[in-house]
């Protein structure tokens, strides 16, 4: 994430679709999804590490990532 873009997203409260798609392509969106649902298996430690790294650069990317992987991904089997 370019720093200037991250600042723009954070200041403008903009949903950054491109980085979210990139995280999906990298398999980062499946870290809390069980393998039987097509995810990587539930790995909370890896998920927290990814959240920490994303949040260092942009809250605008970290928040939707948390919503997708934690609130949605962890509740598929609920």
Question: Residue 36 — pLDDT band, cuts 50, 70, 90?
Answer: very high
Q: Pick from 13, 14, 26: which is nearest to 53 by CA? A: 26
Task: Provide φ and ψ at 76, rounded to 5°.
Answer: -60, -35
- Examine the pLDDT at 23 and tell me if it is beyond 90: yes
Kindly report the number of other CB atoms within 10 A of residue 65's CB atom: 23
Q: What mean pLDDT is predicted for residues 41-69? A: 93
Entry pTM: 0.85
CA distance 55 to 59: 5
pLDDT at 78: 64
- Examine the pLDDT at 25 and tell me if it is beyond 70: yes
Kindly report the number of other CB atoms within 10 A of residue 62's CB atom: 18
Q: Pick from 53, 49, 73, 71: which is nearest to 61 by CA? A: 53
Question: Residue 2 — pLDDT band, cuts 50, 70, 90?
Answer: confident
């Amino acid at each position: 994430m370019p720093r200037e873009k991250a600042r723009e997203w954070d200041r403008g409260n903009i949903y950054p679709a491109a980085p979210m798609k990139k995280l999906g392509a990298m398999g980062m969106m499946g870290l809390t999804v069980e393998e039987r649902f097509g995810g990587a298996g539930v790995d909370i430690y890896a998920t927290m590490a990814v959240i920490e790294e994303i949040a260092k650069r942009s809250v605008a990317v970290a928040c939707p990532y948390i919503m997708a992987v934690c609130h949605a991904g962890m509740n598929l089997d609920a």
